[in-house]
Structure 1
């Protein structure tokens, strides 16, 4: 019985070694419900690329194909250091494909699985780059809709001050089109349930603040080791995103300053109007709040230097606290203190 050559069948494919649209497929590097990503060789320019092949049924939908062409062109026009560049997008033999830069490194999902919760400094470095990429896409009218650790590539940085160079991949080239063409069935939900914004669940219009919510879910997982909401089944998880309050960050990470709780709560607000207006604004607030010195539960200790400096000095009468002493301005002529009434 011949092998099924469809890359979307879920069974071993014989595409390895084959040529598609001028690319020779070398190995599979990622698989999702609607697409498979391969490492491939661009035979025309002799370079390695990431080749994403979409499910064949998508190419058969005229509305989707037109939207795909438009959004691919918009994504290819974005020149940003933290967005994986799109080299080409098209259709061949009834299959839609996207050729992107191949990034050597691991994604944040692998990093978290290996390292567990990360230091706050590392998290703010990583998500700061992601936020910059998201805001750039929003400026071009693109909303990612599927921000998650698996779509954040972490490559080696340039020096000790920049140990990571982060790329955001899998932009919503197809997400908006899917929602417009009826492909958002229960089995093909647009977005990943652990990070999906409430307005996506309810089918309301989305904008860049949808990505703010998802990025906040990623931040919570990177700092705590798990997403903000965990439930026994998908329906309970969807309910939690829409109605339950998120847990306090500092309950699991007491080493992080308490003001970070309010920052995460605002980014995870149920209504987009209550969130930060941009991803960079959220990360800036997080960086400021998380590094703020924790508040103390007692006032600073005051020392009586007259007694401390001479152990044989008799105990003086107790002095009134400094806040109880009136402070009057001094006369510029005599240097004597004067009350406000005498001026």
Structure 2
């Protein structure tokens, strides 16, 4: 019977988004389906938990938490988690779909791998585990079934955190052990505790299997295999396959040490040693690999379970480990004593002495180019060289956004897959181009805009201002001033002349204002006299009005008072008291306005100041001569 057709989920759409196309595999905790994300139109893998697990609220809570943690783990050797949710009460994950096969499939086909090829698969696995350990995540179930080999040669690790989620279910509350027995660390067997060093142990067991084609421990029952993890020592791979380098023996022995404190501290530390070994290791000898076909294949470690199936052991059974179980299998011979310690010491020296240059190694001889854009050029070059790349620093290029001295772009692009010693070209930023503000004074507004655009700058604010010296329509000044250096694309404000502005002439005396206008270039001056209460000769009206733009050729009409014959001021009546309150008015013309004000106020007069040309010197004053004490004197500056 076709199980795919019988599966009720096939053809359904989870959460209205993920269409289930077909079933890929079924395991002890979940079933994996090929699916389509209908929203983003991409193929995904859907891992749907078995309903027995989904009924446990603790599992669901832990499962969601672990999924969120793994989703934050962005690494080229980790299968990405896109989404999590529930369908009809059953929890599921939407993950990256990886076309290819598992490492277990490769082992079934090949039997074992050469030392260099085994490292080329182990290195990206350790890189993925190392990134997880740095983020505080433990895999807990490292095994060939959870290592995927893509069709284009990449290596990816799957199922981070799933075992941790299962540990929270009701099934474990009487003390059970989650994991695949062949790869369980001694501390997981005896206490159920797992940390980064437990993943290192499993990676060491997996490396042993890659090199020899066998798991290190066989047994009739899961209990007998678990016993050997606790009490036996993993043999050096060379004891089964002559030709495995001693340093690689040392790495396997160090990673699978029964004492967690004597293992590499985490996958990153083991990765350092693996990368160093890979760099110094010759190409695999095909004649040595030919023995693989004649080498007997190991029987499944736990016959009742499919190869690689996650197995559950009752921890209560492990309490008998103080003595051997009935008829335990005899341990295989292994390299012990001083020789083993020499190998362990060698591995630890390698771990301590090698830098973190291989942190981002991926599958085989290929690596992913690190993203160095935006970093300081010197620091980026050092990081790339530390990872084995050849670095070339190109000519700096100006850029408005990236600061000078930082990487603007690189070739190849970040995350490109290249040979581990490939050349990387870093193009630094020279920062924004600096441009001098050109001289704009005397140009028209349009000419100024064109000059700025040609220089690489922009005209921003335009302000109009009257001027007696700059013709109308020409630029008086710029802000910033000419010669100032701005970033390319910077903005410049200008002030444009409106030409002369007719000042406020009201209250001036005719002789002063007429002389001042002719000195400024106004020649067409018309004087109209009119009887008025104002003193004779005082301007009582003007045309154009005050502050209106004018040309020097425009006519200016001034209306001045003839008086009204009524002699409004006492000293003009001819009375005997005409000189009673008259005092001399200080002549403050051409003095500083503040000094003029002080002099007049000291003489007992009130002072009013009007703007004439915006200067700080008194240009005109009215009245001059004598005036009543306490009267107002008007100054024009």
* TM-score, normalised via structure 2 length: 0.42
The residue that corresponds to 2:243 in the other structure is 255
Deviations 1:179-235 (CA, angstroms, capped at 9, x unpaired): 233424899852111111111112342211110000111111111001111122211
Matches for 1:116-135 after TM superposition, within 5 Å: 116-135=111-130
Matches for 1:15-30 after TM superposition, within 5 Å: 15-21=9-15, 22-30=17-25
* Residues in 1 aligned to 2:173 and 2:214: alpha-carbon distance in whole angstroms: 27
Match of 2:8 among 5, 14, 19: 14
Query: Which has the bigger relative contact order, CA under 8 A and spacing at least 6?
Result: 1
Question: Contact 1:153–1:166 at 8 Å: present in 2 too?
Answer: yes
Question: Contact 1:200–1:206 at 8 Å: present in 2 too?
Answer: yes
The residue that corresponds to 1:68 in the other structure is 63
Distance 1:255 1:223, change over 3 A: same
Question: Contact 1:145–1:210 at 8 Å: present in 2 too?
Answer: yes
The residue that corresponds to 1:168 in the other structure is 157
The alpha carbon displacement at 1:288 in A equals 4.4
| Secondary structure at the counterpart of residue 270 of structure 2 | helix
Match of 1:142 among 137, 140, 153: 137
* Residues in 2 aligned to 1:191 and 1:64: alpha-carbon distance in whole angstroms: 16
| Structure richer in strand, relative to its length | 2
2:174 maps to 1:180? no
2:206 maps to 1:218? yes
* TM-score, normalised via structure 1 length: 0.76
After alignment, is 284-293 or 34-43 more displaced?
284-293
| Secondary structure at the counterpart of residue 178 of structure 2 | coil
2:223 maps to 1:228? no
State the structure with more CA Rg: 2
Deviations 1:240-282 (CA, angstroms, capped at 9, x unpaired): 0111111221012211122322221111011211111122322
Question: Contact 1:257–1:289 at 8 Å: present in 2 too?
Answer: no
Match of 2:98 among 87, 103, 111: 103
| Secondary structure at the counterpart of residue 82 of structure 2 | strand
The residue that corresponds to 2:194 in the other structure is 206
* Residues in 2 aligned to 1:110 and 1:187: alpha-carbon distance in whole angstroms: 33
* Residues in 1 aligned to 2:100 and 2:10: alpha-carbon distance in whole angstroms: 21
| Structure richer in helix, relative to its length | 1
The alpha carbon displacement at 1:48 in A equals 0.7
What is the Cα-based RMSD across aligned positions, in Å?
A: 2.5
Structure 2 segments unaligned to the other structure (5+ residues): 283-637
The alpha carbon displacement at 1:56 in A equals 1.3
Question: Contact 1:89–1:97 at 8 Å: present in 2 too?
Answer: yes
